[in-house]
Amino acid sequence: MTGIMQGKRGLIMGVANNHSIAWGISKALAAEGAELAFTFQGEALGKRVKPLAAEVGSDFLLPCDVEDLASVDAVFDAIKERWGKLDFIVHAIGFSDKNELKGLYANTTRDNFTRTMVISCFSFTEIAKRAAELMTEGGSMLTLTYNGSTRVIPNYNVMGVAKAALEASVRYLAADYGPRGIRVNAISAGPIRTLAGAGISDARAILSWNQRNAPLRKTVTIDQVGSSSLYLLSDLAAGVTGEVHFVDAGYNITSMPTLDALTT
């Protein structure tokens, strides 16, 4: 197979099933010749990820729960042993207690604030540090964020605060690793029906609002996020780092509902 990712090896973190954004990204990368390793969170998800990995020609699967730093270390030890180096990583991991993804942000508890921050934000920094050690010939790192980082989206609450910190991390990590030829970017995806997306209260209403009001009058698919990720992870984006790139059918540029949404 030939393609723009030919000869590149990367780690995908965050495939839960075939609806996951990370799966859309994996398909796009594999179609262009990338060799992939996958992490999975727990045995139940591992059973779902294994056949998906096989579909894109990978038998390299590693358990990882980012709350357990030893499991993160074990992932990078295994990659070092099998591949010796790494060209890219995809961090598509997010979690918050769904009881707090509704109602007032002000009701966020200290425990869930901390847990959400560690899993959804700081894990990217911990992973980037370990991945950078293996990116001996430069590399590219990508994480996933959402517009709730800078705008108030009903029920997104503490996830919005975590995504704001994640986007700031992208910029700091880009500055840290730029001199070593390692690029760090984020894609801000529009709402998509996934396991994590379903945890946000009224997700269906948010999807339909985006569909009616985005300039392209649609919500995005995991394949559309995949093809934009391919650009950022490949040498096509060799001059791009520290960016938050919207893949949201243009929703972020709007400031009010479309007139047809108001009148129908």
Pick the binder of ligand NAD from 94, 139, 160, 226 (CB under 6 A). 94
Residues 15, 229: Cα–Cα separation, whole Å: 15
Residues 260, 249: Cα–Cα separation, whole Å: 17
Q: How far is the CB of 207 from ligand NAD (least distance, A)?
A: 8
DSSP state of 94: -
Name which of residues 201 to 240 contact ligand NAD (CB under 6 A): none
- Determine what percent of the chain falls in helix, strand and coil, rounding each to the nearest 5: 50, 15, 35
Q: How far is the CB of 115 from ligand NAD (least distance, A)?
A: 9
**Buried-state track 90-111, b at ≥16 Cβ within 10 A, e below 16:** bbbbbbbeeebbeeebeebeee
Residue 30, φ and ψ in degrees, nearest 5? -65, -35
Pick the binder of ligand NAD from 67, 111, 137, 202 (CB under 6 A). 67
- Is residue 194 a known part of a binding site? yes
Q: How far is the CB of 179 from ligand NAD (least distance, A)?
A: 27
Would you count residue 72 as binding ligand NAD (CB under 6 A)?
Answer: no
Would you count residue 52 as binding ligand NAD (CB under 6 A)?
Answer: no
Q: Cβ closer to ligand NAD: 10 or 191?
A: 191
Would you count residue 16 as binding ligand NAD (CB under 6 A)?
Answer: yes
Instruction: Tell me the window of 10-18, 125-133, 169-177, 178-186 that interacts with ligand NAD (CB under 6 A).
Output: 10-18
Pick the binder of ligand NAD from 12, 61, 62, 92 (CB under 6 A). 92
CB-side neighbour CA atoms (13 Å) of 37: 25
Residue with tokens 């700091």: 172
Distant-in-sequence, close-in-space partners of 204: CB < 8 Å, separation ≥ 6? none
Would you count residue 195 as binding ligand NAD (CB under 6 A)?
Answer: yes
What residues pair up with 145 in beta bridges, in sequence order? Answer: 188
Q: How far is the CB of 218 from ligand NAD (least distance, A)?
A: 14
- Is residue 14 a known part of a binding site? yes
- Is residue 225 a known part of a binding site? no
CA 223, 59, 135, 170 torsion-angle sign: positive
Would you count residue 15 as binding ligand NAD (CB under 6 A)?
Answer: yes
Q: Cβ closer to ligand NAD: 139 or 148?
A: 148
Cβ atoms of 144 and 94 closer than 8 Å? yes
Residues 191, 187: Cα–Cα separation, whole Å: 12
Q: Is 146 a residue of the active site?
A: yes
Point out the residues that are catalytic: 146, 156
Can you say which residues are annotated as belonging to the binding site for NAD(+)?
14, 20-21, 41, 65-66, 93, 163, 192-196
The binding site for ligand NAD (CB under 6 A) comprises: 14-16, 20-22, 41, 45, 64-67, 92-95, 119, 144-146, 189, 191-192, 194-197
